[in-house]
Amino acid sequence: MLLHKISTSSHCSSSYLLKRNLSSSSSYICTAAQHDYQVDEQTRQAGFSIHPDELASIVRGHNSRDLKAHGEVEGIAKNISSCLQGGIKSTEVENRQKIFGFNHFLEKPPRSFLSFVWDALQDLTLITLMVCAAVSLGVGLATKGWPKGIYDGVGIILSILLVVLVTAISDYKQSLQFRDLDKEKKNIQVHATRDGKRQKISIYDLVVGDIVNLSIGDQVPADGLFISGYNLSIDESSLSGESEPVYVTEERPFLLSGTKVQDGSARMLVTAVGMRTEWGTLMATLSEGGEEETPLQVKLNGVATIIGKAGLGFAILTFLVLVARFMVRKIVNNEMDRWSSDDALRLLNHFATAVTIVVVAVPEGLPLAVTLSLAFAMKKLMKDKALVRHLSACETMGSANCICTDKTGTLTTNHMVVTKLWVHGKVKDINGDGKDAIRSSICKSVLDIMVQAIFHNSAAEVVKGDGGKREVIGTPTETAILEFGLLLGGDSDALKKETKIVKIEPFNSDRKRMSVLVALPSGGYRAFCKGASEIVLKMCDKILDPNGKPISLSEELRQKITDVMNKFASEALRTMCIAFRDLGDKSNDEGIPEENLTLIAIVGIKDPVRPGVREAVQTCLAAGIKVRMVTGDNIHTAKAIARECGILTDGGLAIEGPEFRSMNAKEIKEIIPNLQVFQSVFLNLWLATLSEQWFTCFGDFLGYGSFEAVG
């Protein structure tokens, strides 16, 4: 399986690199776009002036010359009747799908039931039983006649059929369910601009001409061209095999389907979907590989081999002894020259005895018992809404003794709400105090600058939904803060008209903050920053007082703010600092300032624990399975959530990444049994380290639940 994955990746990479090299070395042969493609009448009548294949080839081949020939991105948008600001109209979707195709990839037809039957028959134990059944039938009929001679052989055959049918039916049903589940998993919701407003649509509904909003972590849903954005870098390793990020700019505007946004944000114009994309072309050439045997299958095959060899050895020995005895008797009685049919029948009976030893030695009930027990386990898992693709995979469930689970979105609902606010020295309860009381208790100048910081420095967006109701589209954290801004009376449209965004540094897991530089209507520039409270607080040297005037941030006051942050975190709140800095008439050409900021406020964001999580954790603990939380959040927030879920118990240990990585093997061996909460940005590094140390110290099995086992 590993070799197949490597070869598949190499095939994708080599195909992609070959195409790029060919397209770059051809010097874009003499305006091929003008001569090789002719726009047909149907495309013209639909309102488009470029051939779908030509449009797709421009991005796939990174063809800058043809892109310039068509008038850059603006010219392409005009050719496909799309507006770079407002996108397309919803009424045009069906027409565009007819001309440019659907955003679907060709899928292989589902495997037939007979193929699962064939797979089930490949089991070594069953093959041994089939051989025994055939020999038993032959010898039985020869020695005992019909029908007594077929009883043993038919019994073995019926056991084999039962095992094969149970395995094949279960695997076939699960394959159909997983096919539907896989389709649903791939049905990603993307943020696109249609009818002049940003909205969420299914990736399957995406068409050529759509304007898609991309942010960190997003998968590029189709081939397209960069319109505008900030610090956009793309991970193209799934196509090229290169780990280095590719920076996308107006000079190099090509975006390929299947790649991922590593940093930055952008708006892109979709130019190809489905099988016309680079990803679609490569997907058409891939094939499924075989699968590895599970541990239990390996052991059963080993047992069958040992039993088979031992049984065969004893059978041969028995047959030789019986034949030798028979021959000795013939010699003693001087009957070597006289042979009869009775002698032949006696030799056949000796052979039948040897075959009986082989048949009895191989336990035909073993695979049946294992298959039925695994089928029962699968049924129980299905009742708990957990699908198992292959019947034999159920066996590995009992081997796990440790589950590592993420916090956000797994243990919690991932629906965040601002519930606490700290501003000019006082804590406000958003739900308890009421929005009017909160607005009236904050100085107008502080309230104004806080609203500016919230709406300007945000990756989310306020849109009008059906019926004119305002909706916020973005990540859960961004949505929570923007909804809080609306509660404070902020007007997103008015603020956007008043100021101009000059530069943006989007949030990522390394910086753990987002910054923006805006040009003020009265002149001058202002930088806003928000992010992890412990990081942003270090960047501040001033704070706004109750009158809205910046005062020096003393060490005593800094400690008080740190205590407030820790108190919020102990209440299972995610804390974020909001800060700003006025820059006068000159902007910082080197980047957005990250020092000498003025602290405005701290918000506490609540992410409620999912219903049933505590019970699920208790069930795991009762079964002898330890549950550990790994998260990138503040350690105090992580501990509070872990206690609420029942993961962190008395005597349990919560540790941060730097402290863990500084430990030697002996220290790690001492803390692992009690380690229940781990906080680190570099979760993959921690898991690799923990796995290595766990096996080294205990030789035990670590079951890693892909951040989904408990949730």
Contact 581, 598 (CB under 8 A): yes
- In the block, tokens 């009548």 appear at 45
Half-sphere exposure of 564 (CA within 13 A, CB side): 24
Residue 457 DSSP symbol: S
Residue 53 annotated in active site: no
List 171, 210, 263, 406, catalytic entry: 406
604-639 burial, b at 16+ Cβ within 10 Å, e below that, comes to bbbbebbeebbebbeebeeeebbbbbbbbbbbbbbb
Q: How far apart are CA 347 and CA 139, in angstroms?
A: 12
Which amino acid makes up residue 525? Y
Contact 679, 631 (CB under 8 A): yes
Whole-angstrom CA distances from 381 to 98, 169, 204, 392 are 42, 16, 30, 13
Q: CA 266, CA 411: separation in Å to the nearest integer? A: 31
Measured distance CA(644)–CA(288) in Å, rounded: 43
> Which tokens in the block code for residue 392?
């034999």
Pairwise CA distance, residues 675 & 629, whole Å = 9
- Neighbouring CB atoms inside 10 A of 259's CB total 23
What b/e readout covers 103-140, taking b as 16+ CB neighbours within 10 angstroms? bebeeeeebeeeebbebbeebbbbebbeebbebbbebb
Residue type, 61: G
Q: Which two tokens stand for residue 304?
A: 């069958």
Are residues 98 and 60 in contact, defined by beta-carbon separation less than 8 angstroms?
no
| Angstrom distance (rounded) from CA 258 to CA 190 | 13
Beta bridge partners of 549: none
Q: 262: Cβ–Cβ under 8 A, 6 or more apart, which residues?
A: 216, 233, 234, 235, 245
- Helical spans, DSSP H, in 530-612: 533-538, 555-570
Tell me the DSSP string of 374-406.
HHHHHHHHHHTT---SSGGGHHHHTT--EEEE-
CA distance 208 to 82: 9
Q: Tell me how far CA of residue 419 lies from CA of 158, 160, 533, in angstroms.
A: 65, 62, 16
**Dist. CA 148–CA 131, nearest whole Å:** 19
Q: Enumerate the active-site residues.
A: 406
